[in-house]
Structure 1
Amino acid sequence: MKKFIAMLMAGAMAFSLAACGNQSAENTQSGSDKTDGSELSGTVMCLGSTSMSKVMGYLSEQFSTDNSGVTVSVEGGGSSAGVEAAANGTADLGLASRALKDEEKEQGLVENIVALDGIAIIVNADNAVADLSVEQISKIFTGEITDWSEVGGEAGDIAVIGREAGSGTRDGFESITETADSCKLDQELTSTGAVIEAVRGNAAAIGYASLSEVEGQDGVSAITVDGVECSESTILDGTYKIQRPFVIVTKEGAEMSAQTEAFFDWAMSTDAADLIRQAGAVPTAK
Structure 2
Amino acid sequence: MFKKIFNDEAGVSPIVATLVLVVVAIAGAAAVGTIMGSFSSDVAEDASVGDATSAASTELLIAGSTTVQPVSELLAEAYMEDHQGVKITVQGGGSGAGVSSVAMGISDIGAASRAVKDSELDKYPDVQTHQIGGSAVVIIANDAMIGGALNTTNVTAADLQALYNGSVSTLAGVTVTPYQRAESSGTEDTFVDFIGEDISDDVEGAVGNGGVLAAVQDDTAGVGFVDFGYADGADDIFMVGVKNDNAEFGPEDITASNIKKEFGAEDEYYLHDLTRPLNYLTNGEPTALEQSFLNFAMSPASTEYFSEVGYFAINEIV
Shorter-chain TM-score bucket reads 0.7 to 0.9
- Please tell me whether residue 263 in structure 1 is matched to residue 281 in structure 2: no
SS at match of 1:81: helix
Retained in 2: the 8 A contact 1:58–1:279? no
Which of these residues, 88, 91, 105, is aligned with residue 72 of structure 1? 88
Retained in 1: the 8 A contact 2:209–2:226? yes
Unmatched 5+ stretches in structure 1: 1-40
Partner of 2:117: 101
Which of these residues, 30, 54, 77, is aligned with residue 61 of structure 1? 77
Q: CA shift at 1:147, angstroms?
A: 2.5
SS at match of 2:189: helix
Change (3 A) 1:165 1:279: closer
Partner of 1:167: 185
Change (3 A) 1:240 1:66: same
Partner of 1:147: 170
- Please tell me whether residue 201 in structure 1 is matched to residue 224 in structure 2: no
Tell me, in whole angstroms, the C-alpha distance in 2 between the residues paired with 1:270 and 1:105. Answer: 30
Which of these residues, 130, 138, 151, is aligned with residue 161 of structure 2? 138
Tell me, in whole angstroms, the C-alpha distance in 1 between the residues paired with 2:230 and 2:128. Answer: 26
Tell me, in whole angstroms, the C-alpha distance in 1 between the residues paired with 2:176 and 2:314. Answer: 36
Provide Cα deviations, 1:150-202, integer angstroms capped at 9, x if missing partner.
Answer: x154xxx320101024122112211222122x435441112211111111111
Partner of 2:132: 114
Partner of 1:220: 237
Q: CA shift at 1:79, angstroms?
A: 1.0
Q: CA shift at 1:142, angstroms?
A: 1.6
Q: What one-letter code is carried by the residue in structure 1 that aligns with 2:227? A: S
Give the number of aligned pairs.
238
Retained in 2: the 8 A contact 1:109–1:252? yes
Q: CA shift at 1:216, angstroms?
A: 1.8
Retained in 1: the 8 A contact 2:183–2:208? no
- Please tell me whether residue 88 in structure 1 is matched to residue 115 in structure 2: no
SS at match of 2:289: helix
SS at match of 1:111: strand
Q: CA shift at 1:125, angstroms?
A: 0.9
Tell me, in whole angstroms, the C-alpha distance in 1 between the residues paired with 2:103 and 2:113. Answer: 16
Retained in 2: the 8 A contact 1:164–1:170? no
Partner of 1:47: 63
Tell me, in whole angstroms, the C-alpha distance in 1 between the residues paired with 2:202 and 2:191. Answer: 13
Q: CA shift at 1:124, angstroms?
A: 0.2
Partner of 2:276: 244
Retained in 2: the 8 A contact 1:116–1:282? yes
Work out which structure has the larger RCO, using CA pairs closer than 8 Å and 6 or more positions apart in sequence. Answer: 1
Tell me, in whole angstroms, the C-alpha distance in 1 between the residues paired with 2:166 and 2:118. Answer: 30
Partner of 1:27: none
Tell me, in whole angstroms, the C-alpha distance in 2 between the residues paired with 1:141 and 1:183. Answer: 6
Q: Kindly, what percent of the aligned residue pairs are identical?
A: 26
Tell me, in whole angstroms, the C-alpha distance in 1 between the residues paired with 2:102 and 2:254. Answer: 30
Retained in 2: the 8 A contact 1:161–1:185? no
Unmatched 5+ stretches in structure 2: 1-56, 263-268
Q: CA shift at 1:245, angstroms?
A: 1.4
Partner of 1:33: none
Q: CA shift at 1:230, angstroms?
A: 3.2
- Please tell me whether residue 234 in structure 1 is matched to residue 234 in structure 2: no
SS at match of 2:166: coil
When Rg is computed on C-alpha atoms for both structures, the one with the higher figure is: 1
Q: What one-letter code is carried by the residue in structure 2 that aligns with 1:147? A: T
Partner of 1:187: 204
Retained in 1: the 8 A contact 2:141–2:224? yes
Q: CA shift at 1:105, angstroms?
A: 3.5
Tell me, in whole angstroms, the C-alpha distance in 2 between the residues paired with 1:89 and 1:51. Answer: 21
SS at match of 1:51: coil
Provide Cα deviations, 1:39-73, integer angstroms capped at 9, x if missing partner.
Answer: xx721110111121111111111111222322221
